[in-house]
Amino acid sequence: MDIKTFVNELPKCELHLHIEGTLTAERRWLCAQANGIVIPGVKSLEELKSQYLTEYLYEEGQDATRYLQEFLEVYYDSMNVLLTEDDFYHLALDYIKVAQSQNIRYLEAFFDPQAHTSRGVSFDTVMSGLLKAQKMAPMYGVQIHWIMCILRDMSAESALETIRQAEPYKDKIIALGLDSDEYNNPPSKFQETFLMARKYEWKITAHCDVGQKNSHDHIEYAVTKLGGKRGNPATHEIDNPEHYLLPQLESGADRIDHGLNAADKPELLELVKKANIGLTLCPMGYQKHLGPQNVFPKVTRLHRYGIPITLNSDDPAYLVYSKTGTILGVAEGCHFTFKDIYEFEKNAIRMAWTPDVEFKESF
Ligand code: ES4
Ligand code: ZN
C-alpha cells in the first residue's frame, strides 16, 4: 500500500484546530454577502480567493518572532464577517464536512469567544451556532467537542469575564485553552481563569508556541502549575488505562498545544515525559517560517523520547496543509514509517477528552 492511501484510509483524530482558522474564502464571501459587509478592496469571490493565496502565505526568511503577530492580524480581520448563529453554524459544519472527507472521526476544536464578543457578537450567538453544528456532526461520521480559548493578548480581567460568560455552557465545553500572541503574555497571567476552569471540571491546555522567546519557561509553568491542583489521577476510574493518557503531576495542564521547544532541553523533555502529558504539534505551519531543518529533527526527538505527540493542521484555511497533508509532509520530513503514523493517531485518541468511553475504546 502506498503511504497516501494508508494515510487517507486511516481513521484519524484531530486535537489542534482553530475553528476560526478554517474560514475559507467561499464561506467568508457568503457571510459577507448575507450580512451586508464590504471586504475592503475585494469585489468578487475570485478576488478574495486570490488574496488568500498570496497575502496569507508565510515566506522563507520571514522574521520568526513576527510571524505570529502578522498571521493573527489577518486571522482576526477575516473573521469580522461572522455575526450570526448561522455564520458560526456554517463555519463549523464546513469543517465537519472536511473532516468526513479526510476520515477524521474525532475532533476537538478551539474557538475564540473574545474575538467575537469584542466586536459586539454575543457569547450566546457563538455558542448556539457551534453547538448546533456539534449536534449535526454524527450525521457526517464525526464527533466534535469544543475547547474555549482565552486570548492571551487581552487582559486577565477580560479572561475572567469570558469564563463567567461560559458558566451556563460548562457542561457543553470540555476544556480551556490559551492562544493568540504569546509575546509578553505568559500562562501565569491567567492562572485565576484556569483555576475557575478546574472548578467547571474542564480539562486544561495552553499554546506554548515555537519561535517565542520565553517558550521554555512557558512550557515549564504550563506543565507544572497551570490550573493548580488536579484531581488525583490515581483515583480516576478507568477500565483500561491503555486507552487514556493520565497526567501524573499533582498540578498543571492536561496537555500542551505546540510545545515543540521542549525538545531543546533535556530537563524539559524529562519533565514532559514525567508529567505524562501529550503535545499537539502542527509542524507544517512551523516549518514554513522556521525552515524544515529547525522543526523536523525536534519532532523526531520528541517522538523517539517517548513523548506522546499528535499531528494537526491548526489553521488550515491559512496555513494550507490539511490534517492528511500534515501527516504526509511530516512523514517525509522526519522519515517516519507507517507504524509511527499509526502511533500518532493512537496517541491522539488516548489524549482525547471525550466522555464517550465506548467510542474511545472502539477507536
Ligand atoms: C493561532 Cl498558530 C496560532 N497561535 C496562536 N494563536 C492562534 N490562534 C489561531 N491560530
Ligand atoms: Zn493553534
Residue 49 lies in a domain: no
* Residue of 69, 75, 111, 258 to test ligand 1 pocket, by largest number of atoms within 8 Å of CB: 75
Helix (H, G, I), strand (E, B) or coil at 131: helix
Residue by residue, pLDDT tens for the chain (363 residues) are 999 999 999 999 999 999 999 999 999 999 999 999 999 989 999 999 988 775 555 565 666 667 788 889 999 999 999 999 999 999 999 999 999 999 999 999 999 999 999 999 999 999 999 999 999 999 999 999 999 999 999 999 999 999 999 999 999 999 999 999 999 999 999 999 999 999 999 999 999 998 777 899 999 999 999 999 987 666 666 778 788 999 999 999 999 999 999 999 999 999 999 999 999 999 999 988 888 999 999 999 999 999 999 999 999 998 889 999 999 999 999 999 999 999 999 999 999 999 898 999 899
Alpha carbon distance 312, 257 (integer Å): 10
Ligand 2 centroid from CA 17, angstroms: 6
Q: Residue 209 Cα, ligand 2 centroid: separation in angstroms? A: 8
Q: Residue 134: what pLDDT? A: 98
Residue ID of nearest Cα to ligand 1 atom 4: 180
Residue with CA nearest ligand 1 atom 2: 314
* Contact call for residues 178 and 149 (beta carbons, < 8 A): yes
Residue 47 within a domain: no
**What is the predicted pLDDT for the residue at 68?**
84
DSSP lists the bridge partners of residue 149 as 177
- CATH number of the domain enclosing 310: 3.20.20.140
Count structural domains, the chain. 1
- The domain of 334 spans 3-23+82-362
- State the ligand closest to the CA atom of 256: 2
Residue with cell 474575538: 115
Give the per-residue pLDDT at 197.
Answer: 97
Report the C-alpha dihedral over residues 173, 312, 307, 363, rounded to 10 degrees: 70
Ligand nearest to the CA of 70: 1
Does residue 357 lie in a domain region?
yes
- Residue 342 belongs to some domain of the structure: yes
Give the three cell numbers for residue 131.
453547538
pLDDT at residue 193 in the model: 98
pLDDT of residue 233: 64
- The CA 149 to ligand 1 mean position distance, Å, reads 10
pLDDT score of 242: 84
Cell (9 digits) for 308: 506522546
Q: Which atom of ligand 1 is nearest to the CA of 315?
A: 10
- Whether ligand 1 lies within 6 angstroms of the CB of 16 is answered as no
Cβ atoms 226, 193 nearer than 8 A: no
Residues ≥6 apart with Cβ < 8 Å to 323: 12, 14, 99, 102, 104, 311, 312, 313, 316
The protein residue with its alpha carbon nearest to ligand 1, atom 5, reads: 180
Q: Does some domain include residue 63?
A: no
Q: Counting ligands in written order, which one lies closest to the CA of residue 75?
A: 1
| pLDDT number for residue 235 | 63
Cell of 224: 507544572
| Ligand in nearest proximity to the CA of 72 | 1
181 touches ligand 1 (CB under 6 Å): no
ipTM confidence score: 0.97
pLDDT at 81: 98
- Taking the mean position of all CA atoms in its chain, how far away is CA 299? 17
Question: For residue 328, what pLDDT is reported?
Answer: 98
- CA of residue 155 to ligand 1 center, whole Å: 17
> Does residue 298 fall inside a structural domain?
yes
Note whether residue 238 is domain-resident.
Answer: yes
Domain membership flag for residue 168: yes
